[in-house]
Structures are given as C-alpha cells and as structure tokens.
C-alpha cells in the first residue's frame, strides 16, 4: 500500500495532473474516487500498486487501456 498523504510522495501533483488529463468516464470517476478517499480517510488513505499504476498512466496521459488506441 502507498501512503497518499506522505508529503515526500508526489500525490498532490500526481492526482491534480491525473484529474486534468482524465478523458474517459472511467478516468474521471477513478480520480474522483481517490479524491473522496483522501477526504474520508485522510492520513489513513492508501493506494494499491494497481491504483498507483492507473493514476500514473492517467496523469501522464499515457493511453490507459480505456482510451482509444
């Protein structure tokens, strides 16, 4: 699990970039669910490696599998 509230981690920027780059309904909903998770759980919020991967792909606009290829 990855600590979303660790100030040393790039979570604020990564989530902001992903939110800005989200195109598909899935990407938008995924980013919103992570934001809600942060609001609800605060310092206890965690990401799985798969969630981290998805968030990174969306943030980099790297053609996550839901996007047209």
| Assigned domain for 65 exists | no
Q: Which domain holds residue 37?
A: 2-59
Q: Which residue has the tokens 């989200």?
A: 22
CA distance 7 to 12: 8
Residue 8's pLDDT band (cuts 50, 70, 90): very low
Report yes or no on 23 lying in a domain.
Answer: yes
pLDDT in tens, 22-38: 999 999 999 999 988 87
Q: Which residue has the higher pLDDT, 11 or 69?
A: 11
Residue 64 has pLDDT above 90, yes or no: no
The verdict on residue 64 lying in a domain is no
The arithmetic mean of pLDDT across residues 35-52, rounded, is 80
DSSP state of 8: T
Name the 3-class secondary structure at 47: strand
Domain count, the chain: 1
Indicate whether 52 pLDDT > 80.
yes
Residue 9 lies in a domain: yes
Which has more pLDDT, 32 or 62? 32
Tell me, yes or no, whether 68 lies in a domain: no
């Amino acid at each position: 699990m990855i600590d979303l509230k660790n100030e040393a981690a790039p979570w604020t920027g990564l989530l902001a970039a992903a939110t800005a780059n989200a195109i598909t309904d899935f990407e938008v909903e995924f980013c919103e669910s992570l934001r809600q998770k942060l609001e609800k759980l605060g310092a206890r919020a965690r990401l799985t490696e798969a969630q981290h991967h998805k968030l990174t792909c969306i943030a980099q606009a790297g053609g996550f599998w839901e996007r047209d290829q």
